Amino acid sequence: MYANPNSIINPSLWPNGPAPGCFFNFPGTSVTSTSSKSGIITRTQSPVTTGTSILGLVFDGGVMLAGDMLGSYGSMAKFRSIERIIKVNNSTVLGATGDIADFQHLKAIIEQKVIDEDCADDGFTLKPKALHTWLTRVLYNRRSKFDPLWNTFLVAGIEDGEPYLGCVDKIGTAFSDSKIATGYGAHIALPLMREGLEKKPQMTKEEARALLINCLRVLFYRDCRALNKHQIATITKEGVTIENNIELDTNWEVANFVIGYE
């Protein structure tokens, strides 16, 4: 607002100066342009298209990641072939829960990092611990700018002959463990994984796969953002194998006993 001629401030001393209680407008601006072009920065308040749980489990000689392939548009099961588990290189796999767009953004950056290392041809490749650390720094940096990437990542791989499984969330909180579940799986699947490891601490690949499949089946029953179409990634010293479009056997006979919701 420009100066009021009736103001106690002499307009001749400060041309276009503000009246008491008002703001000064710089030349060439207006009240309308100030409100719309004042450098206001918008942030993502909530993800739009999202993916649910990713499960990670270390077994004797390797590590597995598992998750479904649904991209939920709000509550709509819209995108049914989203690959949320990707191969980074021959020793590292990445899985993502949360905003699909933010995941695709980081996926493109990681793929370029791998290309740059291949071009350098210096004998070094991106290892799982290095990727986990890099993601921690990136996510914490974005969180510190109040513009987080709305994801939780699992990094799995083989480093120095040993399996590695790490997790980092959207605010940069990072840890590693022998069993990790993100999303709704942290409440439903993780207790099942813990129970399985208590009974058999050193699982074979087949036992680990059977346990993860059982967890995926329970999540499909319980999680309304889950889909019966899954990926399972296996990382061993021999390399990386990712199976896509896995459908599990399910049993809905119990639905006949659910009454009162007709």
Nearest alpha-carbon partner for 191 in 210, 211, 171: 211
Mean pLDDT value across residues 82-95: 96
Q: What is the pTM of this model?
A: 0.81
Q: What is the DSSP string of the chain?
A: -PPPTTSSS-TTTSTTPPPTT-PPPPTT--HHHHHHSS-------S-SEEE--EEEEEETTEEEEEEE--EEETTEEEE-----EEEEETTEEEEEEEEHHHHHHHHHHHHHHHHHHHHHTSS----HHHHHHHHHHHHHHHHHTT----EEEEEEEEETTEEEEEEE-TT--EEE-SEEE-TTHHHHHHHHHHHHHHH-SS--HHHHHHHHHHHHHHHHHH-TT--S-EEEEEEETTEEEEEEEE------GGGGG--S--
Q: Is 97 a catalytic residue?
A: no
Is 38 or 223 the better-scoring residue by pLDDT? 223
**What is the per-residue pLDDT for 254?**
80
**What is the per-residue pLDDT for 30?**
52
Round the average pLDDT of the chain to a whole number and report it. Answer: 88
Domain boundaries, the chain: 49-247
**Is the pLDDT reported for residue 124 higher than 80?**
yes
**Is the pLDDT reported for residue 229 higher than 80?**
yes
**Is the pLDDT reported for residue 203 higher than 90?**
yes
**Is the pLDDT reported for residue 245 higher than 80?**
yes
What phi, psi does 141 have (nearest 5°)?
-60, -45
* Sheet containing strand 54-59, strands side by side: 179-181, 54-59, 62-68, 230-236, 239-246
Mean pLDDT value across residues 90-97: 97
Q: Which residues are within 8 A (CB) of 255 and not within 5 positions of it... i.e. 6 or more apart?
A: none
Q: Alpha-carbon distance 240 to 235, whole Å? A: 5
Among residues 29, 44, 173, 204, which one is catalytic? 44
**Is the pLDDT reported for residue 122 higher than 50?**
yes
How would residue 27 be classed by pLDDT, with cut points 50, 70 and 90? low
State in words which class domain 49-247 has: alpha beta
Q: Which residues pair with residue 234 across a beta bridge?
A: 64, 241
For the segment 212-221, what is each residue's pLDDT rounded down to a tens digit? 999 999 999 9
